[in-house]
A and B are shown apart, each in its own frame.
Chain A
Amino acid sequence: MHIIESGNVAAATGVKLARAQVIAAYPITPQTPLTEKLSEFVESGQLQAQYIPVESEHSAMAVCIAATSAGARSFTATSANGLLYMNEQLHWAVGARLPIVMCVANRGVGAPWTVWNDQQDTIAQRDVGWIQLYANDHQQIIDTVIKAFKLAQTVSIPVMVCYDGYLLSHTYMPFEQPAQDLVDGFLPSFSPRHFLDPDNPGNFNTVTLPDIRPGVDGTMMPGYIEIRHNLQRDLRAAIDVYRDIDRDFARTFGRGGCPFVEQYRCDDAEFVAVAIGSLSYQLRDVIDMMRDNGTPIGVVGVQMYRPFPSQAVVEALAGRKCVVVFEKALSYGNQGALYADIKAALYPAGQRPQVHNYILGLGGREIKTAQLLEALTLSCTAPDSFGDEPRWIGLKLQE
């Protein structure tokens, strides 16, 4: 069934279809309508779940950690400073290998205070160990939420589903709402690998010594570094798992097929623009205009950022003349984080393209199609004129 709704409602509908059992969230713009919708679903009995109001995002994640430890499928959502307030609990959730799913409606981070969109909030959380998936439109939001629940519980790693605040969270678009019976067939009921079980008691995540040591029952217990090594190993293996999940999803629902990077008019492209989120769709207009003028150019939207799908990125970008990375976030003091990751992935590739970096749209600064056209035209016509420092689009510095 197709409905016309906001991106936040698309996310909430995905959570309902996934039959989340515990929801804990603290309101923050622009995520708030998502959890408001979920509270409506719970209140009206459309979703059989515990909705637990909390006094902060830190507590929201703590509730999800506890509920998932008890064996319940848990969900929360946040944005910007709320996500950062969770930070310590984000590390805990992934270290404890709890398959929580969280939506983040991307928003700039204060100070100075802003409620508008950029992607600094989630990009800044790239190293905590959570899987990060990004949606480009409302259909991808609802689909990715459902896939995220399956991915999280398959690999025992929590997943963030990220989408642009306002640009997607508050705009209305038609999207197909999958049928409940199909979702039930796709997503098995929640059965975490490790959970609190009175019949099989255990101490979880107590002080773990630097070295391995025997437990009281004589079995050797891993040290911290072994547990963290296996998290990294499982994250890298999660790339293939997500490819399979996306394939199963496409077989069931008829949508999907590009879980890592979504390519548009890239087949014969010498130049490729790269972006995360809705900007990659906005860039399609620019690509069409430049194609009309004979420029062989395409655009790639990165949909999985952590684990970084290096192989898919290399397959999409190696051998091009120039790759232009547009980012609504920065690794401050260095350059765009995606730009740095793409360069690192391409370094061992046989045919390395030139790579350019533009920073734009921070704190919701409007991104005009003409600006994107100008930037891409410059990259295509004078690719050698760029250094390694990112260039900024739309800055209005007073002279």
Chain B
Amino acid sequence: MAKDDFCEMLSRSTPGPGDGGNTGSWRVLRPVLNAVACIPVKTGRMSCFQCWLYCPDCVVSKTIPPTIDYDYCKGCGICAEECPAGAIEMVPEAEAAPPAKED
């Protein structure tokens, strides 16, 4: 066995969205942004973004308005908890989402 044959396999993956799977499917509560109340939207300035800062999964964008990537948002609710304007509401997934389409 040549040297390079050893440890040819390791638990190693390329970092990137979705490396942990489609974690959005874990979500029970969905964060829904009320853009009217959102500080960057109201002021038109790149400010606040506590949702972007605190999101542990980096699924909130630092944009006006902020967007949430529901493919990977686990619904933890930290963004809603941290939003100083109360602009994010956690809505039960069954009420928020239309029924999934059957292929």
Residue positions of A touching B, CB distance < 8 A? 95-97, 154-157, 193-194, 201-209, 215-217, 219, 221-222, 224, 226-227, 230, 234, 237, 240-241
Contacts and interface: CB of A to CB of B under 8 A. Distances in A.
Contact of A194 (B7, B14, B21): B7
Kindly list the 7 A-B residue pairs having the minimum CB-CB distance in the complex, ordered from nearest.
A156-B7, A216-B16, A217-B14, A205-B11, A203-B13, A97-B7, A237-B1
Nearest to B14: A217
A203 B15 contact: yes
Contact of A202 (B5, B12, B21): B12
A181 to B, nearest CB: 23
Given A154-B6, A193-B6, A206 B11 contact: yes
B10 interface: yes
B71 to A, nearest CB: 12
B10 A97 contact: yes
A155 B19 contact: no
Contacts of A205: 10-12
Q: Which of A154, A201, A203 has the most CB of B within 10 A?
A: A203
A213 to B, nearest CB: 8
A234 B7 contact: yes
Given A203-B19, A207-B20, A216-B18, A194 B12 contact: yes
Interface residues of B, number: 20
Contacts of A234: 6-7
Q: Which of B8, B11, B17 has the most CB of A within 10 A?
A: B11
B9 interface: yes
28 contacts: A95-B11, A97-B7, A154-B3, A155-B7, A156-B7, A193-B6, A193-B7, A194-B7, A202-B12, A202-B13, A203-B12, A203-B15, A204-B10, A206-B13, A207-B20, A208-B11, A209-B21, A216-B15, A216-B17, A219-B14, A221-B11, A222-B9, A226-B9, A227-B11, A230-B8, A237-B1, A240-B1, A241-B1
